[in-house]
Structure 1
Amino acid sequence: MASAEVENMSGVLKVYRDGTIFRVEDPRMFVKASLQGEGDVASKDIVLNEKLGLWVRLYLPSSHLQQQTEKRRLPLIVYFHGGGFCLASPALPDFHNFTLKLAASVGAIVVSVAYRLAPEHRLPAAYDDGITALQWVSSHAVHGGDYEHDPWLDSHADFSQVYLLGDSAGANIAHHAVAECGGVEAWSPMRVRGAIFVQPYFGAEKRTRSESECPPDAFFTLPLSDACWRVSLPVGSNRDHPFSNPWSDGAPKLEEVPLPPLLVAIGGRDMLRDRGLDYCESLKQCGKSLEVMVLEEEEHAFYALKPHCQSSERLMERISRFISSSPLESAIHNNDVA
């Protein structure tokens, strides 16, 4: 007799009562390092830990790669994709295309991290993988070390211009990577100049208004969000765990964490809207350097689902401006409701 189904994430991930897990396999998950032509951006995959299945996809503007005598180095973005800690990878076409556009639009090297997924690997596995990826990147800023260097990073990356970028669960990972490691100095001599959190995924047992009013036909619904928390948090935990609730007992205190300057983008029709706004308000009360961009008409993951819409273009322009403005040198407290 078949075991009863206890969780179903849109048919892509199913969890059964006996512990069996069904996941739609992505044949590109463990692709070996290879150079791929992608128009204006070249990409390749690097395996960091084959046993864990931890790998990254690197993106480099092709024009810079072809100009071997180029003296100028490029900013470096470390990117963590969304998916509720349970779904997707850098190879998912939506995220791959977003990252291609990011590298081309900003003129930056991008390291997209394929962290381990729940429920096979519950939190803090994704956090641990994010920190490992950052340690690998920072190892290129010094000679020697425990990690094998990649020639793209050695030759083209400016390690004094490093940015973290995460969307949804990826923004949660980026937040914890900074908070748990004691701030931006953790990867010295690499300098984390800023972080971009797009529709950050936080939660709590108490519902916000935007969660309670989320329509059932939304792309990211409250039941789906709850299911992601149930299978990704440590067994026996609820949504007030510090991994999901940054205001809970046991979470690093925001006022004590030396966060870099932040750009936070929020969708006005996103179920996570109010929680994102609360997060920004807490950061402002702590005196953190913060830019807030609210895109009133957008739902969750609009930048991946509608990459060429006006809001996606404006988000990309804002990210590019944030990175080019050297935010460490000029702390900005700016709210942009658009």
Structure 2
Amino acid sequence: MEEVVNVGGILKVYRDGTIFRVEDPRMFVKASLQGEGDVASKDVVLNEKLGLWVRLYLPSSHLQQQTEKRRLPLIVYFHGGGFCVASPALPDFHNFTLKLAATVGAIVVSVAYRLAPEHRLPAAYDDCISALQWVNSHAGDGGDFKHDPWLESYADFSAVYLMGDSAGGNIAHHVVALRGGVEAWNPIKLKGSILVEPFFGAEQRTLSESECPCDAVLNLELSDACWRLSLPVGSDRDHPFSYPCSPAAPKLEKISLPPLLVAIGGRDMLRDRDHEYCELLKQHGKSVEVVVFGEEEHGFYVVRPQSQSCERLIQEISRFISPVHTF
């Protein structure tokens, strides 16, 4: 079969429409409880027709509690992968999320959203909004959603945080921006968003994009391929989905955003783009804290989860959450 697109060998699109991925997240993982050291995890299918499921993480001590304990902050996490690959079950993301839940002391809901090119944007946004609506239902009357006992028993819905890395950071921005702000998510309280090396783009190259070496973890060829496969057909990188600073994007000054923590890799191709995003938010009076990891490339937190930089990232996340939610 003839290849028409090859994204780093992990995603191949053939002329007959066949698609190959190293890991195919459409394979459902049945709900099950797994022992993972200090953290328990299980998978819950939210919409089998769409292939929408989440992996929940809960510090194990709360499963063995005999008396009522404090509720835990809740992190809704959107994984990276250029909108085209990966899922919560990918070992790199699973191990990172285990570490996140254990260190921060939080429940984590990791969302498996639909991928491009079979499902172009806004499919990923729609799925992540649906997952957040499912979380939100636990704090209200529930609607048509089935409640999960972990969230019902242990989650603090007054301390909910969005988190995403790379494409997931882009998603974390849009699930608020496309819904018109944090008020749209009542009764849960969105206390903050954590964007780790968020994946944004535009037609005009930044300096860090232009100077990015071809052997970098994320380079222009890979980035451009992901945008071509994931944006609506006929769109370029100036589309608001990729460029939130676009004149056609929702006006950032008019959107109520939660406080943001943005982590930027000092050697990441996206660093100039991410700094531009943060500076624009600050100009509009938004609360934005930027943490730079000077020697790190894109995805260091999943590629090297035992590194000092990954340890520092998770500690920064803990610090960002802990002033609001006392541990």
Normalising by the smaller structure, the TM-score range is over 0.9
**1:319 maps to 2:317:** yes
Partner of 2:257: 259
Amino acid at match of 2:6: N
1:10 CA displacement: 1.9
Q: What SS class does the counterpart of residue 159 from structure 1 fall into? A: strand
Partner of 1:168: 166
1:88-127 Cα deviation digits (max 9, x unpaired)? 0000011000100010001000000000000010000000
Aligned counterparts of 2:119 and 2:141: Cα–Cα separation in 1: 33
Matched residue count: 325
Partner of 1:39: 37
Partner of 2:76: 78
Partner of 2:100: 102
Distance 1:27 1:49, change over 3 A: closer
Partner of 1:294: 292
1:27 CA displacement: 7.3
Q: Could you tell me whether the CA contact under 8 Å between 1:29 and 1:89 is conserved in 2?
A: no
1:25 CA displacement: 4.1
Amino acid at match of 2:246: S
Aligned counterparts of 2:287 and 2:118: Cα–Cα separation in 1: 37
- Out of 14, 17, 20, which is 1:19 matched to? 17
Q: What SS class does the counterpart of residue 52 from structure 1 fall into? A: coil
1:325 CA displacement: 1.3
- Out of 200, 204, 208, which is 2:198 matched to? 200
Aligned counterparts of 1:56 and 1:242: Cα–Cα separation in 2: 27
Q: Could you tell me whether the CA contact under 8 Å between 1:193 and 1:261 is conserved in 2?
A: yes
Amino acid at match of 2:308: Q
Amino acid at match of 1:180: L
Q: Could you tell me whether the CA contact under 8 Å between 2:164 and 2:195 is conserved in 1?
A: yes
Partner of 1:93: 91
Q: Could you tell me whether the CA contact under 8 Å between 1:29 and 1:91 is conserved in 2?
A: no
- CA RMSD in angstroms comes to 1.3
Q: Could you list the structure 1 runs, at least 4 aligned residues long, displaced by more than 6 angstroms after superposition.
A: none
Q: What SS class does the counterpart of residue 233 from structure 2 fall into? A: coil
Amino acid at match of 1:116: R
Q: What SS class does the counterpart of residue 29 from structure 2 fall into? A: coil
Q: Could you tell me whether the CA contact under 8 Å between 2:23 and 2:85 is conserved in 1?
A: no
1:260-275 aligned at under 5 Å gives the runs 260-275=258-273
1:310 CA displacement: 1.1
Amino acid at match of 1:90: P
1:183-194 aligned at under 5 Å gives the runs 183-194=181-192
Q: Could you tell me whether the CA contact under 8 Å between 2:25 and 2:112 is conserved in 1?
A: no
1:142 CA displacement: 1.6
Give percent identity, aligned residues only.
78
Amino acid at match of 2:202: A
Q: Which runs of 5+ in 1 are unaligned?
A: 328-338
Amino acid at match of 2:49: K
Q: What SS class does the counterpart of residue 73 from structure 2 fall into? A: strand
- Out of 218, 221, 227, which is 1:220 matched to? 218
Amino acid at match of 2:81: G
Aligned counterparts of 1:93 and 1:29: Cα–Cα separation in 2: 15
1:227-271 Cα deviation digits (max 9, x unpaired)? 000000011111011100112232111111100000000000000
Partner of 1:304: 302
Partner of 1:335: none
Aligned counterparts of 2:25 and 2:207: Cα–Cα separation in 1: 39
Q: Could you tell me whether the CA contact under 8 Å between 1:64 and 1:70 is conserved in 2?
A: no
Q: What SS class does the counterpart of residue 256 from structure 2 fall into? A: coil
Q: Which runs of 5+ in 2 are unaligned?
A: none
Q: Could you tell me whether the CA contact under 8 Å between 2:23 and 2:86 is conserved in 1?
A: no
Partner of 1:231: 229
Aligned counterparts of 1:11 and 1:161: Cα–Cα separation in 2: 40
1:105-160 Cα deviation digits (max 9, x unpaired)? 01000000000000010000000001000000000002342100000000000000
Aligned counterparts of 2:26 and 2:312: Cα–Cα separation in 1: 31
